[in-house]
């Protein structure tokens, strides 16, 4: 299950793990104009861990999900 909320400066997507045990903590994705953050509670430390991706990194991650093993560089397009 997931939710999508539009806030003032970001779109917030929350991914809820509903599968069989063991379940993972919810993942919260904040999409800002200049970057994307991914947050998840670490139950061992009770702290929220945050990863920040640039939009370039996000585009490369999206492309990598559909590619076989290897080393790649995405071609940059002129706007």
In a domain, 60, yes or no: yes
Q: How many domains does the chain have?
A: 1
pTM for this structure?
0.83
pLDDT band at 5 (very low <50, low <70, confident <90, very high): very high
Those residues whose C-beta lies under 8 Å from the C-beta of residue 8, and which sit 6 or more positions away, are: none
Average pLDDT over residues 39-44: 96
* Structure tokens that stand for 76 in this block: 């940059």
* Structure tokens that stand for 29 in this block: 């994705």
Q: Is 29's pLDDT higher than 90? A: yes
Q: Is 78's pLDDT higher than 90? A: no
For position 74, what pLDDT does the model report?
85
* Structure tokens that stand for 44 in this block: 């061992």
In a domain, 43, yes or no: yes
Those residues whose C-beta lies under 8 Å from the C-beta of residue 9, and which sit 6 or more positions away, are: 32, 33
Rounded-to-integer distance, Cα 28 and Cα 4, Å: 10
In a domain, 17, yes or no: yes
Rounded-to-integer distance, Cα 24 and Cα 43, Å: 9
In a domain, 77, yes or no: no
């Amino acid at each position: 299950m997931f939710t999508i909320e539009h806030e003032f400066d970001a779109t917030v997507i929350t991914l809820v793990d509903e599968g069989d045990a063991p379940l993972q903590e919810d993942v919260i994705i904040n999409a800002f104009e200049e970057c994307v953050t991914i947050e998840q509670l670490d139950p061992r430390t009770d702290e929220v861990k945050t990863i920040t991706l640039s939009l370039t990194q996000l585009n490369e991650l999206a492309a990598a999900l559909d590619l076989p093993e290897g080393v790649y560089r995405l071609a940059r397009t002129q706007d």
